[in-house]
Amino acid sequence: MRIVQSTWVRFHHFDLARELNRIGKLEKIFTTLPWWKANMEAEQQGIPRDLISCNPIFQGARHILSRCPWYSRAIDTKLAVEQTKRYSSWVAKRLPECEAYIGISGSGLSAGRLAKSRGGIYVMDRGSSQIRYVNQLLMEEYQTWGLTFQPDHPFLIENEEEEAREADVITVPSEFSKRTFVLMGTDPDKLRVVPYGASFEEFQRVGTPPPNSFRVLFVGNFSVRKGAPYLLRAFQQFRHPRKELIVVGHVPEEVRDLIRRIGCEGVTFVGPVRRSKVKEYMSSCNALVLPSVEDGFGLVMTQAAACGCPIIASEHTGFDTIFKHDRDGLLVPTRSSQALVEAFERLAESDELQKQLAYMAGQRIKTLGGWSGYAADLVRCIAEAR
């Protein structure tokens, strides 16, 4: 079976491409990564360079222009629409013969239609919730915090919904994400839940938390979408003599005023770090917390589990797709600072509970088979559709 992929940047698609290549099924992967990053991925993942095709023009322009003081959301939206239209057509023009084409959401309409016309299977892969659902959810959330929300352009929403109608199969990483598609009218028979894997070569325990302290870790974009305000509020309410919250990742401008309003005593903002360094933070913290308002599947959860770091996650993260509350981690209601405080208190009061949750989560992700298991599940979905 020959499989072609298209993605925007890295996401999880290069992990998938590595595994598909390993079992002799990767025909080509299209990406908006620049050539030098594609070269790096080829070397790191063991993917032949001639199987990677790059079109970084619009992605690169958006990245470079974003540093200019005059660059605005309106300009970026126009570029995003043009990028979506042109990239989709570019992939279709270069689509080789294949039995299946997997397009990350937004990138695949033209190529998906072409693959189907040739007798192949079109798989739409969506890492988040249904796009219209996400926009409605975040509109409400921004209003809650007195912020202005700028929704996706109508073309981008309609384009993804057309992809969902055209696709033979829609893969999502969690039951939460699946429910949002069904809620917004997608045929449930098309949907397949395929949770992401974890790279045990990249993520393993390399340290331990400092004694007599309670160190909480957040990894990712520290945004409204990821539940940053609820985490800050909970951490300020949490009483512990040696508490620390470490935030690894980008802090958007829109959140900075909220940080000042809520307070950030005991919080260390590290900023983005190299992927290889994340395991050091995960290994040295008492808990990873992911309080997202919307998250198709928080990949940091499986990474933390591989590093022996206990997990606290909200209901909108995909936690309950692979983990079980009170066995593999702590599941809390979405948008609840009080629930986060109670979870911090439970873990801070019991080293044994920390060890138990970390051990069980680590055992659980081993049963998933890592990224090779993810690739096998996707191939199985394609075979069933064929």
Both 260 and 164 in one domain: the answer is no
Both 80 and 15 in one domain: the answer is yes
Q: Whole-angstrom distance between the N-terminal and C-terminal Cα of the chain?
A: 11
Residue 81 included in any domain? yes
Both 14 and 106 in one domain: the answer is yes
Residue 170 included in any domain? yes
Identify the pLDDT of residue 202: 84
Identify the pLDDT of residue 61: 85
d(CA 279, CA 275): 8
Greatest mean pLDDT range, 57-61, 82-86, 163-167 = 163-167
Identify the pLDDT of residue 198: 78
What is the arithmetic mean of pLDDT over 90-119?
Answer: 96
Res 179 pLDDT > 90: yes
Identify the pLDDT of residue 253: 86
Domain count, the chain: 2
Domain range holding 309? 214-368
Residue 202 included in any domain? no
Res 199 pLDDT > 80: no
Both 107 and 177 in one domain: the answer is yes
Residue 308 included in any domain? yes
Identify the pLDDT of residue 131: 96
Both 185 and 260 in one domain: the answer is no
Both 378 and 340 in one domain: the answer is no
Identify the pLDDT of residue 330: 97
Both 247 and 261 in one domain: the answer is yes
DSSP states of 203-252:
------PPTT-EEEEEES--STTTTHHHHHHHHHH---TTEEEEEES---
Both 176 and 263 in one domain: the answer is no
Res 304 pLDDT > 80: yes
DSSP category for residue 151? P
Both 343 and 377 in one domain: the answer is no
Res 89 pLDDT > 90: yes
Supply φ then ψ for residue 260, to 5 degrees.
Answer: -65, -40
Res 223 pLDDT > 80: yes
d(CA 296, CA 319): 10
> For position 362, which CATH number holds?
3.40.50.2000
Residue 203 included in any domain? no
Q: List, for residues 305-336, the tens digit of each pLDDT value.
A: 999 999 999 999 999 999 999 999 999 999 99
Identify the pLDDT of residue 68: 87
